[in-house]
Structure 1
Amino acid sequence: MHASVMRVIAIAIAAAASTPVWAADPDHGGDLARRWCASCHLIEGTQKQASADVPSFAQIAKKTDLTPEKIAFFLLDPHPKMPSFPLNRLEAADIAAYIGSLRK
């Protein structure tokens, strides 16, 4: 049942991300990333410290198989080594949009 709930959430995120009214906000995502993610991930070039064994947000952004929808879905159901953050689906979409904005 957990997997089916997560699929529904992923569909909702994808729908929200493609609808202008619910467009993800990369600026807000950057603010959230600095607050929640910077203790482990290098999220921007000016950052002084991050964990060496986790990918930077720029490295994540360069992965062509990771769409903002997949990243947002991942943030809502993080892997065991990642702390559990109380992100709602819009915050997850905003962080994913921020990561997507780093793709070059």
Structure 2
Amino acid sequence: MKILVNKKIKTLFYAILLCVVLFSAAALSFMKSGLENLALYIFLCALCMAAAISIFCYQYFREQQRLIENATAQITEYIAGDHGAHIECNDEGGLYRLFHEVNSMEFCRTKHKIFP
């Protein structure tokens, strides 16, 4: 899958998968132990899994938002006249390819005078 090229997305995917596997293992161990209030224990495990997945997703999307805000600031600086503004695009994935293409537009403009 091309979406798993980005190491941050891959890490998020594996973290969510790990949460699901750990929850399933905990639920199976509770069922085999014959505990009373089994439903309560499984419900608490599900809440912990949901909390962990929410934290992983929040961290991922917060980082994505930071990247987008930085790119927006660099584009704004370029439009304001700072032709040295550059978006960092040293990672893999769709967002970084977009950043690279934006940086390439500046290269084409200065080298070939394509844009006015």
Scaled to the shorter chain, the TM-score interval is under 0.3
TM-score (norm: length of structure 2): 0.25
Normalising by structure 1, what TM-score?
0.27
Structure ID, larger Rg: 2
The answer to which structure, 1 or 2, has the higher relative contact order (CA under 8 A, 6+ apart) is 1
Greater helix share, 1 or 2?
2
